[in-house]
Amino acid sequence: MQCIQREPRRTKSEELLHYAQCKKEAGINTKLLGLDGDPDLQFLLSGGDLLKVRSSNWKKTRFYKLREDCKTLWYESHKTVRASNPTFCVDDIATVRQGRHTEGLRKHTDDKVESRAFSILFKSRRKNLDLIASSEEEAKQWVTGLEKLMSNMGKLTQQQKTEHWIFNCMRKADKDRNNKMCLKELKSFMHHINIEVDDAYAQTVFEKCDQSKCGFLDGKEIEHFYEILTDREEIGTIYEKYAKTGGMMNAEDLLNFLITEQREAVDLNHALTLINKYEPDSSAKEKKMMSKDGFMMYLHQPECLIFNPAHRSVYQDMTQPLNHYFISSSHNTYLMEDQLKGPSSTEAYIRALLKSCRCVELDCWDGSDDEPVIYHGYTLTSKILFKDAIKAIKDYAFKTSEYPVILSLENHCSVEQQKIMAQHMISILGSALVTKPLGDQIPTGFPSPEELKGRFVIKGKRLNKLEDSFTTKANSTEDIVSEEEESGDDEEEEDQKPKESKTLKLAKELSDIVIYCKSVHFNGFEDAKDNLSFYEMSSFKEGKSVKLAEESANQYIHHNVDKLSRIYPAGMRTDSSNYNPVPLWNSGCQIVALNFQTQSLEMDVNQGRFLPNGQSGYILKPAYLRDRASEFDPITLTRGGWLQHKTFHVMVISAQQLPKVNPKKTSIVDPLVRVEIYGVNSDVATKETEPVENNGFNPSWNARFQFDVYVPELALVRFVVEDHDTTSSNEFVGQYTLPFTSIQRGYHHVPLVNKNGDRLPSAGLFVHTMILDDESQ
């Protein structure tokens, strides 16, 4: 095994020693990951040549290997002029696909390499890595090895992740690789883990650990330094408060903590189960006691995160009509970037669907060779084939959620190519496509998400009423629909395209597969109530919908009790930015479509809204948004069942392992935490801590905040961490958003996600929450 790192030339003896050190380091990390001696991981550590594919003309061999930290993948360019060695972290990998299952491989390679091809897809906007191995066996080993590595890293406890991370940070600080740490290396290590310390403090810590007084830390001394570094004083204080049995927690002590602080309705058997499950010391476990280490391990478990574990799976009633749910929805789903010149890709559909998006948009235009294409009309965005998008949607629609996917068609095609669109959807989606109403009778309301599990529903124009399909008389031969029957989606391009005629021809084949989501123009609430069937739905540009939500919220709610509403961003958002979805949810709108490709505060809130209920993409609306007689108005907020005044107390205690936002080695974050409430106007509020200077590893605040929440079922709470800057805007570090009704009470860790909504592996907050009822109600 070679240790890939650019270092000065070594003598033969130095090289042998270096090889042994690298092997030892890899051995420690494979044990930490539970993959000691695993042949697939050993294969990755040895590395090998792979053909990297960028285009039909750019295919070059690169040597890839896993570094000894078992976390970083490295490749060396075979160029005469040696460049810096590119790397990427296993944490950044979203998935590994075996075969030619990306646009790049399908476009730039042929069927002969199918068994040798695989792709690495990243969580961020980084381009896919399309690779071809020299044999099918090698390709399988790369895929299997990477999947094992990702799986085992995901299974590590927070403590194990910290140990793995700190061990490898220490290895990087040990410049001369002598397994010892001098004062200079200790200071370098502290910088690396995001702590700025002055010389006097560094000297004090060093001398405290250097018990041998030899001027460097070795063996047990490094372990002692690790213990000082990872000591959680705040958790120790909590533990000592409840450890009343000889300085330790027995089952009664733990039960007292669970009832008093965590407000859990549990018994002594539950406390004993926790001790048996999480106490690492066998002698303490035999005595039915929990040590401080066991208590720390328990507080780092997924069940102790702030998000209620009962909401991780589908727990809501999924048998209500479809329009009784908020539905996770995407706008311009095909775009990877902006809507003027950004690339279109089937990958954009895959990413949205894997994030449990349940309504995707397809902007369809005539293409060459009689094949419809998808792109943002009258712009420079690239084009993808309609059939390729449908194939991608079929393959990935139900991997995250098994509940129905709505295909929202924005149709600009000729009748001939509309027929081809219908043919592709029918042939590719097969029996999963809803092509007629469920049941044998004329439907009077929507089916439920449960009834539509694993099915695709088309949203688009229809030539006639759905009821006509149940009559014996011939269907209308008319193939023209007026633009006033269109949803209004075309309005978003009104400033970018020439005026179209007032009518558009529609193919019967496409019309016939529009069942529960017929697009119609909105002519007011009274008209919709009197003249539209339940399945006839309108789309609203954000400006119009916000105005309705502000001026006629109660009418909007009543409309959405019977009908579906889709909201989409204004065409002026050429950068594909997003609008605030909260006021539209407050008015009962179900399909509030956002640009999933644009990470923003609005997408954070969207991700938080659809976090519970098993990330199914469907959230049951509160009862007062499903009641035809509802008097609820989110603006005036009159008294009613929705008014459940809560006092929300939150103490932001500390943070752990915050990432650097500046790649410069000397840059240390000055973190602050802001707690934000979103919901009805009366609930919207923001409070923030003071910044902590030069400490991103274990900053402490102990800041207490109090919020009044009047409509908890519509409220969302967002924790955001920023790097404070006195001369410019603060920089984003991480955030976490969840529904107010999904918050666990007591002491809990808050995981943090990055701008793309992906989990930061070790970073988090530690908070205490209380939710009290207002006794004056």
Instruction: Give the mean model confidence (pLDDT) for residues 728-738.
Output: 95
Marked catalytic residue, from 300, 331, 559, 768 = 331
pLDDT band of residue 377 (cuts 50, 70, 90) is confident
Marked catalytic residue, from 311, 324, 376, 749 = 376
Confirm or deny that 566 is annotated as ligand binding: yes
Confirm or deny that 723 is annotated as ligand binding: yes
Least confident window among 205-214, 343-352, 683-692: 205-214
Confirm or deny that 9 is annotated as ligand binding: no
The better pLDDT of the pair 497, 557 is held by: 557
> So what's the pLDDT on residue 1?
30
> So what's the pLDDT on residue 639?
86
| pLDDT more than 70, % of the chain | 91
pLDDT band of residue 3 (cuts 50, 70, 90) is very low
pLDDT band of residue 12 (cuts 50, 70, 90) is low
Most confident of 118-122, 710-714, 753-757: 710-714
Confirm or deny that 78 is annotated as ligand binding: yes
Confirm or deny that 72 is annotated as ligand binding: yes
Closest to 374 in 3D by CA, of 399, 404, 351, 408 = 408
> So what's the pLDDT on residue 776?
58
Least confident window among 92-96, 268-272, 531-535, 701-705: 92-96
Instruction: Give the mean model confidence (pLDDT) for residues 607-620.
Output: 98
Least confident window among 265-274, 454-463, 491-500: 491-500
> So what's the pLDDT on residue 213?
86
Distance of CA 227 to the CA centre of its chain: 33
Confirm or deny that 64 is annotated as ligand binding: yes
pLDDT digits (tens, 9 = 90+) for 477-493: 557 765 543 334 444 44
For residue 82, pLDDT over 60 is answered with no
pLDDT digits (tens, 9 = 90+) for 234-256: 999 999 999 999 999 999 999 99
Q: Give yes or no: 424 in active site.
A: no
Confirm or deny that 79 is annotated as ligand binding: yes
Instruction: Give the mean model confidence (pLDDT) for residues 135-139.
Output: 95
Nearby residues of 277 by Cβ (< 8 Å), 6 or more positions away: none
The better pLDDT of the pair 690, 227 is held by: 690
Most confident of 73-77, 319-323, 442-446: 319-323
Least confident window among 121-125, 454-458, 596-600: 121-125
Confirm or deny that 68 is annotated as ligand binding: yes
> So what's the pLDDT on residue 473?
56
Instruction: Give the mean model confidence (pLDDT) for residues 319-341.
Output: 93
Instruction: Give the mean model confidence (pLDDT) for residues 353-359.
Output: 96
Distance of CA 697 to the CA centre of its chain: 24
d(CA 455, CA 460): 16
Q: Based on the number of CB atoms within 10 Å of its own CB, is 406 exposed (0-12), middle (13-18) or buried (19 or more)?
A: buried
For residue 683, pLDDT over 90 is answered with yes
Most confident of 21-30, 66-75, 153-162: 66-75
- Per-residue b or e along 321-332, where b marks 16 or more CB atoms closer than 10 Å to that residue's CB: bbbbbbbbbbbb
d(CA 112, CA 564): 47
Please give the DSSP secondary-structure letter assigned to residue 195: B
- 8 Å CB contact between 600 and 577: yes
> So what's the pLDDT on residue 218?
82
What length is written for the chain? 777
Confirm or deny that 298 is annotated as ligand binding: no
Cα–Cα–Cα angle for 382, 385, 389, rounded to 5 degrees:
100
Confirm or deny that 455 is annotated as ligand binding: no
- 8 Å CB contact between 418 and 411: yes
> So what's the pLDDT on residue 486?
35
Confirm or deny that 535 is annotated as ligand binding: no
pLDDT band of residue 201 (cuts 50, 70, 90) is confident
| Average pLDDT score, the chain | 89
Q: Based on the number of CB atoms within 10 Å of its own CB, is 217 exposed (0-12), middle (13-18) or buried (19 or more)?
A: buried
Instruction: Give the mean model confidence (pLDDT) for residues 282-304.
Output: 94
Q: Give yes or no: 331 in active site.
A: yes
For residue 400, pLDDT over 60 is answered with yes
d(CA 307, CA 751): 9
Closest to 375 in 3D by CA, of 391, 363, 390 = 363
Strand partners, 646: 709, 773
Query: Which residue ranges form the domains of the chain, and what is each CATH number?
Result: 12-155 (2.30.29.30), 159-230 (1.10.238.10), 233-300 (1.10.238.10), 322-464+479-625 (3.20.20.190), 646-773 (2.60.40.150)
Confirm or deny that 218 is annotated as ligand binding: no
> So what's the pLDDT on residue 26?
82
